[in-house]
Structure 1
C-alpha cells in the first residue's frame, strides 16, 4: 500500500476516535469544549499518531490497542501549537489556514483549552481503548514516555530555549538542540508509544 494511502487511512481512524474521546460541545455551555475540538480536530496530516499506529502494527499489536495513545499524541501536539501561537510567545494569527485558537476564542479560553487537551491526553492513556483494556504496566510506560517527551527534556524545554534564542546569534548546535526537543522527541515518542501499545518489551 502506498504511504499516502496508508496515512489517509490512519488519519481517518484517528479523527473518528478523537471525535469520540473529546468531550461533546453539548455538555458544556461554555466555549471550552468547542475550543478543544477546534484545536484538536483542525486540518492536519496526523503524522505523529499515524506513526504510533504503524509502530504498534509493526510490533505485532492490533491497531485498536494504539488508538488512544495515538490520539493522546495528537492532543498534546495540539496543546503545544495553541500555546506556541499565543501573544506571549509567537503571537500568530493563523494556523493551518484559519484563525489561531486565541484569535477565534480569546487568549483566556485558548490557554484553558490547551491545558484541558494536555490533561485529557494523559487521561486517555489509562482509559480503555476500542475493545482493549490496557494493562496497568503498559499504561504506566505510555504515561512515562509521553511525559518525558513533553516536559523538561522535550517540547517545553525546547520551546523555552527557542524563546531565549530569539534575536540572538546562536550556533548550529543550539538550533539542533531546539529542534530535537521541540519536534524530534515527540516524533520519536510516537514510535516508541506505538511499540509499547503493541506489546514490545523495553
Structure 2
C-alpha cells in the first residue's frame, strides 16, 4: 500500500481534484486514490473522514493531511520533487506562481458559468461578458508566459509544472463549452491533452458512474 493517498471527487466534474492528480501522475509519484462522489446523500459524511474542511481534494501522507489543491501541489513539490514542480529560472518560477495564485483565487464568472464537465460537448450555450473577460485574461496570461518562458517546451513555462496543472481544468472548460481559443491557447491545450495522465483521467471520467439522488439509481 502506498504511503500517499489522494482523495478526489468525480473525475468528470472535480476540477480541483484534477490538479494534484496531474502533478502526482506526471512526475511519477506513486499514490493510492480514494474517490468520493459529489452531490450524494452521504458525501458530507464520507468526506469528513478524509478532509478537515469537508472538501476534495485532500492528500494523506503517513498520517499527515493536506487539503486544498495548491497546498497539496506545493507539498508534493517540497516533499517529493526537490523543487522540480516549479520552473528552475527565478523569473519563470515567480510568474508561474503568480499565475497559479490568480487561478486559485480568481475567474469566478468562468467557474460559475462553465463548471467542469469533461463529457460535455459544445452547443449553443452562451456566457456573459464577465466570463468572456475571464477567458480573455486567461488566454492573455498563457500567451505572456509562453512568450517569456516557454521556449524549452510546449507548456506555459517550457516543461510541465504546477502552473500547467492549475490551468488544466480551464482547458477542459474551453473544450467542453466551445470557447474560442487563439493559436497559442490551442497549442497549450494540445500540450495538456498530450499528457498520459490527462488521458487516463479523461477516460475514467467518461466511464464514471454517477449516483442520482432523486431516483436512487445509477447511470453511466
Category of TM-score, reference length = shorter chain: 0.3 to 0.5
TM-score by length of 1: 0.33
Larger proportion of strand: 2
Comparing both chains, which one has the higher relative contact order based on Cα–Cα distances under 8 Å and sequence gaps of 6 or more? 1
